């Protein structure tokens, strides 16, 4: 998986291909995983707030996983 003979980190622009391969065959929504991965970095960057991120994916997560236990949940967020 992470090859000890790989010389260096995968450059960020090739990362998505690699991420896609990782998610390949997963029982859950691959495309959702990729979108969330992209946006999680935007959260790290400060382009998106935790709350925005949480809300943006809340419905989809609930539908896919039946729960949403992410730590990004804003104060007073209505979970249902």
Partner 1 sequence: MTNYGLVIDQERCIGCQACAVSCKQENNVPMGQFWNRVLTEGGDKIDTPSGGYPEDGGSGSLDMQYQPTACQHCENAPCVKVCPVNATYTRDDGIVEIDYDKCIGCRYCMAACPYNARVFNWDEPEQMPEEGTGDVAARPQGVVEKCTFCSHRVDEGLDPACVVNCPADARIFGDLDDEGSTVSKYINEYETDQLLEDRGTDPKTHYISGEMSPGRPQTSDKMESELDDVSPWSDGTEDVPSDADGSDSSDSGGSHHSIEGDADPHVPAVGSGGDD
What is the binding site for partner 1 (CB under 8 A)? 1-10, 12, 15, 18-20, 22-23, 26-28, 32-34, 36-37, 40-41, 43-46, 50, 53, 61, 64-65, 67-72
Here the tokens at position 79 are 């979970």
Distance, in Å, from the CA atom of 65 to the CA atom of 62, rounded to the nearest integer, reads 5
| Cβ neighbours of 41 (radius 10 Å) | 13
Q: Give min distance, CB of 75 to partner 1, in A.
A: 16
What element of type H or E holds 20?
Answer: helix 12-23
Cβ nearer to partner 1, comparing 11 with 76: 11
């Amino acid at each position: 998986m992470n090859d000890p003979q790989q010389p260096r980190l995968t450059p960020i622009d090739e990362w998505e291909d690699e991420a896609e391969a990782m998610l390949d065959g997963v029982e859950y929504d691959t495309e959702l995983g990729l979108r969330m991965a992209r946006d999680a970095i935007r959260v790290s960057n400060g382009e998106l707030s935790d709350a925005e991120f949480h809300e943006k994916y809340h419905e989809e997560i609930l539908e896919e996983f039946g729960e949403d236990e992410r730590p990004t949940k804003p104060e007073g967020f209505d979970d249902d």
